[in-house]
Amino acid sequence: MTLKVELLAYTPEGEILSAMAAKLTHSKSSINDLRESDEEELKNILRYVIKAGHESVIEHAYFTFGISGVSRALTHQLVRHRIASYSQQSQRYVEADREYVIPPSIKEAGAEQEYKDMMEKIWDSYDKLKEKVPVEDARYILPNAACTQIMVSMNARSLLNFFELRCCLHAQWEIRHLAWKMLGLVKKVAPVIFENAGPPCKTKRICPMNKKDCKWYPNP
């Protein structure tokens, strides 16, 4: 299957709200006065506070994604990002179709047919087990490659952290592809917040992993 990600919903005027929050902390203005602030002024304030590392204000902006065509291996990594909300298709209640992800390295190694043959054996066993035990128990035999669907909601601050970790070449290929697709979507609706988002080698000119052999390793 092919990875698919959609931006299902997001906070209307999330950037304006975040900028208002930033201005509020250093202003005697009322909330109503803040609403009347010049939009360009607010965007400049937002750029300034993000650059200064004061990112708590962008927690007011939320984004919800619909993600499909991904493996359980990916979602096991995704849910480690704790400040988020997740709703995933249940293997307890939904019988798994014969849909799975094939890592590019499997194809490059010339092992694709061997991989597919094994997947077919697993699903044959799964179908036989479902006749004897509950679906929720038969699922134990399913592989990490099994496809799933998940809805994810994150605030903008959590997304910036997610992009730093998962857009990096050190991240596994599947979740990295997802992260870059998500980043492309949010940049369209919140360009100020995410204009410098991405891995730290691109945004901060540093490599926390100190992977000097990485092709993205920042030049001095």
Cα gap 27→17, rounded to integer Å: 15
Phi–psi pair at 66, nearest 5 degrees: -110, 125
Of residues 36, 61, 39, 49, the one with CA closest to residue 189? 61
| CA dist list (Å): 144 to 44, 139, 150 | 45, 11, 15
Of residues 132, 130, 145, 131, the one with CA closest to residue 92? 130
In sequence order, the 6+-apart residues with CB closer than 8 A to the CB of 106 are 112, 115
Check: CB of residue 20 under 8 Å from CB of residue 200: no
Cα gap 26→48, rounded to integer Å: 13
Amino acid occupying residue 167: C
For this structure, is 166 an active site residue?
yes
Catalytic residue among 72, 139, 157, 166: 166
Check: CB of residue 61 under 8 Å from CB of residue 153: no
User: E strands along the chain, which residues?
Assistant: 4-10, 62-71, 85-88, 147-155
Positions annotated as catalytic residues are 166
